[in-house]
Every structure is written in C-alpha cells, then in structure tokens.
C-alpha cells in the first residue's frame, strides 16, 4: 500500500509541507493503465522507504488537487521536492522507467 492516501484536504500537509521528496500517483479506479502502474508504485514505496514518501490521489474524488496540477491524463506520476513539482511521468511505463525517474529526483 502507498504510504498515504492523498485528498484535497490533506495534500498540502502531506505533499507540499513534506521534508521528504514525494511521489504522487494520480489515478482512478476505472483506469486500466492505472491498474498496471499501481503495483509498480507499491513496489517503489517499499524499495524507497525512508527516502521517498509515496501517495495516491483518486482524481474522481479529489478534483481540486488534480485541477491545480492540470492532470489531463491518468495515470500521471508527479514528483514533488520542497513543495514544488519537479518531474512527471504520464501513462503506463515499466518499473525501470519509474525507478530512473525516482533516482533522478532523489539525486537532484
């Protein structure tokens, strides 16, 4: 399970105010590519525990956050560092692609 279920109500506290870099998975339950990416995000949460916070935003239930970051396609994986979005990966990708993105964010 991802570290945090993110909502319109807790996004600022959990992501923007986080001391740690955050991976945010914007998804929806009806989205087939999201179902492919979900288990990869879960694996990343375990592999990078203590280095990266991982959260999921259901865009159907949390339209304000999705709108604030112009999420037009899902899944969108967005990385935040010091409260700012620093990288995005849109669509279903392989685990290695996501790992490379995580490593880039952590190294920057």
Which residues form the catalytic set? 31, 34
User: Whole-angstrom Cα distance, residue 23 to residue 43?
Assistant: 12
Stretch (H or E) spanning 34: helix 32-47
Shortest CA distance to 42 belongs to which of 68, 82, 77? Answer: 77
User: Whole-angstrom Cα distance, residue 93 to residue 50?
Assistant: 24
């Amino acid at each position: 399970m991802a570290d945090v279920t993110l909502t319109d109500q807790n996004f600022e506290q959990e992501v923007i105010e986080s001391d740690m870099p955050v991976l945010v998975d914007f998804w929806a339950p009806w989205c087939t590519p999201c179902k492919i990416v979900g288990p990869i995000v879960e694996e990343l949460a375990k592999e990078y525990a203590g280095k990266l916070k991982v959260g999921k935003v259901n865009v159907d239930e949390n339209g304000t956050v999705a709108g604030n970051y112009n999420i037009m396609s899902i899944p969108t994986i967005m990385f935040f560092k010091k409260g700012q979005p620093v990288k995005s990966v849109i669509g279903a990708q392989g685990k290695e692609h996501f790992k490379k993105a995580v490593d880039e964010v952590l190294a920057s």
